[in-house]
Structure 1
Amino acid sequence: MERKLRRDAPVVTLFSGGLDSAYLLLWLRDNGFTDIHAVSIDLAESETSDQKAELAEALGAKLHILDCQEEFARDFVAPAISAQAVYLDLHPVSSTLSRPLIAQRATELAERLGAQAVIHTANRSQNTLRRLNGALRLLNYSGLYGSPYDLEPVDRDDKQAALAAAGVDLLKDRSVSGDSNLWCREFESGILDDPENHRVPGDLFRWSSVRAGVAPSEISIGIESGIPVAVDGRPMTLVELIAELNQRVGAYGIGRYSGLEHLDNGEKVLELREMPAAWILLRTYRHIEAACLDAELLREKQHLEQVWVREALEGRWFGDLRLALQTFMDNCALRTTGNVTWELHTGGADTRSIVAPRSLYLRDRERWEEQSIAAESSAHALFAPATV
């Protein structure tokens, strides 16, 4: 990529404010690029706008921060909830959802600027590589795109040393890589590379650390036509609702996940994350759709859910099959309306009430049996031979 790009023409880089994206800005500056645009898609990540601005300025880049939280919740997280998007029953997907949105907004900015390339920082041991490249390809971006780390990876220590030598020491204490948004906080690499030894330092968890003295409590979550809309009867936007659940549910130590996820050629890498809101929302949704949808429809939906996950995870969010599957999920969601009340306790939660206005469940089995037998007897009498 370096040999093909003009040093005086605009380039767009994806910028999270972390070690990898900061080093990319340094690399571009040191290699003579003079028109660098760092685009940060605000999905409620851990790094603040001030931190990003300070880094970008120190490294000679023009920073563009685009607030996409509402769009992310509406167009990416909500479809994932309706599709029950969980990788092999191990962890809810997250970067699978954020990468296509990031690629979409970066492409739009690059086209407005007349940029010759969209550059990111994913390497071969990160699934982000195929998700970003796949999205950029399906979006028909006409410029160059990719990551210099794909063919020439750089060691974390070398990145930190190079930044420190350039007078940028804001990232010197980073021992792991992180990816955060309103839906998930994920940790990887550094001290967490090894599946056989990966104790996560407690201070990395912000949502799911058990609060001292927390007592069991109830929480009710309302869903209308497949969209979470209320907590304890209070209407909320999806962004507000997820933020509240991350705090309230996470206070009980709920929502931590670990598991292995495959790379392009079948190798597996460790995934560690905290997702309290996802934990309870996915379960709430399943309870309500179980109350509303026919059993055979649910069986087929469960099969198609993993096809949806596969297509999104492999970088085909904008592909025809994922879009067709979403139509099926959306049709099921139109009939998924109800409310679930949970009792939260340290380490878990139990349902206390499942209410759906157009439900298929029975509330009084004995009465139903009596009515069912009476109806069947009446039908038999109707067709009984007449007596002479």
Structure 2
Amino acid sequence: MQGEKVVLAYSGGLDTSVCLKWFEQRGAEPYALYLDLGQGEPAVDVKKKALNIGAADAFVRDARAEFADEYVAPAIKANAMYGGRYPLFTALGRPLIAKKLVEAAREVGAENIAHGSTGKGNDQVRFDVTTASIAPDLKVVAPVREWGMSRPEEMEFARENGIPVPTTKESPYSVDENLFGRSIEAGPLEDPDHEPTPDVFEMTAEPEDAPDEPRHVEIGFEKGLPTSLDGREMALVDLIPALNVIAGEHGFGRIDMIEDRLVGIKSREIYEAPAALALIQAHRELESMTLTKDVLRFKAQVEQRYAELTYDGLWFTPLKAALDAFIDETQKTATGTVRLKLYKGSATVSGRTAEKPLYSQDLATYDPNSTFDESAAAGFIALWGLPARQWAGVHGDVESARQKAE
């Protein structure tokens, strides 16, 4: 790579800090791109660190609002949960980072973009495939896949080259965080039988230490999009961190799961996602009021495929765009408010209203003044059971015939 320009997705952590020096030592001209997705590290410190390590320049971009509106919002509408549990916050950030890497590469005239993903993880696929989808002329370089260093060897390389990194032998966790959630892995967590210790968590209180009084929170939706919290209108980029604090204080939002990675291995994953889990739970409840049974059942299938596409790095693909169109159609009536009760690590729905609900109390009530015509039920049952009755009439008692044959 002698003399070639490369734009690196820079987080300020161990892997990408070592990557910068690695490129410099091979004669490349590295540029660092730090994208603020709500991970919390001061951007000024990250830029200074990158320049000190050897970056030709370091770009710091605030993409929190874009992340919330163009990536998180569609996922909420889709109730996207990989494996039915993981709300995809890391996976949602990767296509945006790749998009911004491409934009930065065009700015500086770079032939390459790079990331610090390992050969065992999912992110390498997400970065590589997303780049191929939107800028197939650019080359993607993944130093961590090439250099063959173990994590302890990386830490030693960092010390030898004067690179300050937050990871130490005493604190071996690998952490990834953004506006929508936080993941923690590596170290003792690789043992699936190891119970996470309190130092693993930052966003959520220990459930047993959470307040003894429950907290009710109301989430307002307009066409499937969260727009208010406890009656206060808020942009999604502001609503999510506010809800993270509220739900996290009550110990809600922890996930401990065995996950099927795209590369074919199973991994133990620890996540904290208070707002993500609360929003999707509330959104599903609202949809139960506003969507017909057949749409709900079909949408559940779409949601699973949507989550898989996101997880697998296929965000900018025709199928993803087609599923977005379907989901947007289902959200036209998803306007209303859902109330959640937060208590000691749990969130339960305690109320829901919708602007145009399909639920009718006049139909559902057992009071004498119900508008449901019970006399119509007998005819409905007769027609509904006709195929079963016809089969029995032709073939007789199937169970008795089987027992006689035995």
Report the TM-score, using the length of structure 2 for normalisation: 0.86
State the AA in 2 paired with 1:344.
Answer: L
Matches within 5 A, 1:353-368: 353-364=351-362, 365-366=365-366
User: Given the alignment, which residue of 54, 57, 66 partners 2:61?
Assistant: 66
CA contact (8 A) 1:12 1:117 kept: yes
SS at match of 2:281: helix
Q: Deviations over 1:119-151 (max 9, x none)?
A: 111112111011111100111241211312224
State the AA in 1 paired with 2:175.
Answer: G
1:40 maps to what in 2? 34
State the AA in 1 paired with 2:177.
Answer: S
Change (3 A) 1:172 1:297: closer
2:90 maps to what in 1? 95
Q: Deviations over 1:141-182 (max 9, x none)?
A: 412113122244321111111111112234353511111000
Q: Which runs of 5+ in 2 are unaligned?
A: 378-406
Percent of matched pairs sharing the same residue: 31
SS at match of 2:191: coil
SS at match of 2:373: helix
State the AA in 2 paired with 1:229.
Answer: T
C-alpha displacement at 1:252, in angstroms? 0.9
User: Given the alignment, which residue of 142, 145, 151 partners 1:156?
Assistant: 151
Matches within 5 A, 1:260-275: 260-275=258-273
In 1, Cα distance between equivalents of 2:368 and 2:360: 7
1:236 maps to what in 2? 234
In 2, Cα distance between equivalents of 1:348 and 1:95: 23
**Corresponding position: 1:19 with 2:17:** no
In 2, Cα distance between equivalents of 1:295 and 1:278: 25
Runs ≥4 residues deviating over 6 A: 374-377
In 2, Cα distance between equivalents of 1:369 and 1:300: 34
Task: Answer with 349-358 or 324-333: which moved more.
Answer: 349-358
C-alpha displacement at 1:366, in angstroms? 3.1
User: Given the alignment, which residue of 334, 346, 352 partners 1:336?
Assistant: 334
State the AA in 1 paired with 2:347.
Answer: A
State the AA in 2 paired with 1:179.
Answer: D
C-alpha displacement at 1:260, in angstroms? 2.3
1:142 maps to what in 2? 137
1:385 maps to what in 2? none
Change (3 A) 1:50 1:175: farther
CA contact (8 A) 1:207 1:274 kept: yes
User: Given the alignment, which residue of 82, 86, 89 partners 2:81?
Assistant: 86
SS at match of 2:221: strand
Change (3 A) 1:264 1:205: closer
CA contact (8 A) 2:224 2:331 kept: yes
CA contact (8 A) 2:47 2:60 kept: no
1:190 maps to what in 2? 187
In 2, Cα distance between equivalents of 1:339 and 1:368: 30
User: Given the alignment, which residue of 114, 127, 148 partners 2:122?
Assistant: 127
2:296 maps to what in 1? 298
CA contact (8 A) 1:164 1:172 kept: no
In 2, Cα distance between equivalents of 1:222 and 1:275: 19
In 2, Cα distance between equivalents of 1:138 and 1:368: 61
CA contact (8 A) 1:117 1:145 kept: yes
Matches within 5 A, 1:219-234: 219-234=217-232
C-alpha displacement at 1:32, in angstroms? 2.3
CA contact (8 A) 1:216 1:345 kept: yes
User: Given the alignment, which residue of 196, 202, 211 partners 2:198?
Assistant: 202
1:373 maps to what in 2? 373
SS at match of 2:166: coil
Change (3 A) 1:292 1:65: same
**Corresponding position: 1:108 with 2:103:** yes
In 1, Cα distance between equivalents of 2:348 and 2:167: 43
In 2, Cα distance between equivalents of 1:256 and 1:169: 30
Change (3 A) 1:151 1:359: same
State the AA in 1 paired with 2:285.
Answer: H
**Corresponding position: 1:283 with 2:270:** no
Change (3 A) 1:124 1:263: farther
Change (3 A) 1:292 1:369: farther
SS at match of 2:145: coil
Change (3 A) 1:27 1:339: same
SS at match of 1:39: strand
CA contact (8 A) 2:120 2:263 kept: no
CA contact (8 A) 2:215 2:342 kept: yes
1:254 maps to what in 2? 252
**Would you tell me which structure has more helix in proportion to its own residues?**
2
CA contact (8 A) 1:163 1:169 kept: yes
State the AA in 2 paired with 1:208.
Answer: T
In 1, Cα distance between equivalents of 2:23 and 2:135: 25
Change (3 A) 1:348 1:213: closer
Task: Answer with 46-55 or 95-104: which moved more.
Answer: 46-55
State the AA in 2 paired with 1:37.
Answer: Y
Q: Deviations over 1:31-79 (max 9, x none)?
A: 222x211001110113221331232122111211111100100010011
User: Given the alignment, which residue of 321, 324, 327 partners 1:323?
Assistant: 321
Q: CA RMSD in A?
A: 2.0
SS at match of 1:163: helix
Report the TM-score, using the length of structure 1 for normalisation: 0.90
1:381 maps to what in 2? none
The alignment of Structure 1 onto Structure 2 pairs a total of residues equal to 370
CA contact (8 A) 1:342 1:351 kept: yes
CA contact (8 A) 2:34 2:47 kept: no
